[in-house]
């Protein structure tokens, strides 16, 4: 199954991506982090997002024929963005990488900017750094770190984000998916 098919089948996992943009008063630049975020570019354009779009760690070779063609690739998280969209990204990071990502995202956001993340919520406390699991979007195995909502809330508040909204959904690939809108204050 390819990524677009998986996204159509699991579209409720991304249903909050657009509503979180309502927290912004600008159409400044947006950084799309990870392959899921890059695939949301047409959706963001369709709901009227007019700013420039940049992609960090979008899947190499991803079929852009069905995507917005004006996405610029970047090789690190830096700059000054109004939005950083990173759905289903943090579970690929171990604890140290997660902390680095959150600090980098905060530094790269404009004052009042929005960080959108979503992740499968840990059912129980997971002390392992990463576990080899079946991928929820393909037939391959991937390494994932399951974080609890409590862990993430503590981390983002310690780094200085304001929690604007928390949403929870049941999805086919996991019991519970958490979506967060985080504002840089």
**Residue-wise pLDDT tens digits, 78-127:** 999 999 999 889 988 988 999 999 999 999 999 999 999 998 887 665 55
Alpha carbon 71 to chain centroid, angstroms: 16
Query: What secondary structure, in 3-state letters, does 21-68 show?
Result: HHHCCCCCCEEEECHHHHHCHHHHHHCCCCCCEEEECCCCCCCHHHCC
Average model confidence (pLDDT) for the chain? 79
Q: How far is CA 55 from CA 24, 32, 70, 143, in A?
A: 20, 5, 10, 22
CB 144 within 8 Å of CB 88: no
Q: What residues contact residue 46 under an 8 Å CB cut-off, 6+ apart? A: none
Q: What is the CA radius of gyration of the chain?
A: 15
The percent of residues above 90 in pLDDT, for the chain, comes to 33
The DSSP output letter for 107 is H
Residues forming beta bridges with residue 72, ordered by sequence position = 54
Helix axis angle, 95-108 to 149-159, nearest 10°: 40
- For the whole prediction, is pTM greater than 0.75? yes
Architecture of domain 3-184: 3-Layer(aba) Sandwich (3.40)
Q: Which of 83, 78, 95, 15 is nearest to 52 (CA)?
A: 83
pLDDT (tens digit, 9 = 90+) per residue, 53-82? 999 986 554 454 455 567 888 999 999 999
Pairing of strands 30-33, 81-87: parallel
């Amino acid at each position: 199954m390819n990524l677009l098919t998986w996204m159509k089948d699991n579209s409720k996992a991304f249903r909050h991506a657009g509503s979180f943009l309502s927290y912004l008063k600008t159409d400044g630049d947006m950084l799309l982090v990870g392959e899921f975020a890059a695939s949301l570019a047409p959706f963001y354009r369709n709901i009227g997002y007019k700013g420039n779009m940049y992609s960090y760690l979008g899947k190499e070779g991803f079929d852009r024929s069905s995507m917005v063609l004006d996405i610029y690739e970047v090789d690190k998280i830096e700059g000054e963005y109004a939005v950083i969209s990173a759905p289903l990204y943090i579970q690929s990071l171990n604890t140290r990488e997660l902390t680095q990502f959150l600090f980098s995202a905060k530094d790269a956001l404009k004052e009042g900017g929005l960080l959108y993340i979503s992740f499968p919520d840990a059912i129980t406390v997971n002390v392992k750094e990463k576990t080899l699991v079946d991928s929820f979007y393909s037939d391959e195995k991937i390494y994932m770190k399951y974080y609890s909502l409590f862990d993430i809330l503590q981390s983002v508040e310690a780094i200085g984000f304001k929690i604007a909204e928390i949403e929870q959904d049941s999805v086919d690939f996991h019991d519970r998916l958490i979506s967060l809108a985080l504002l840089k204050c």
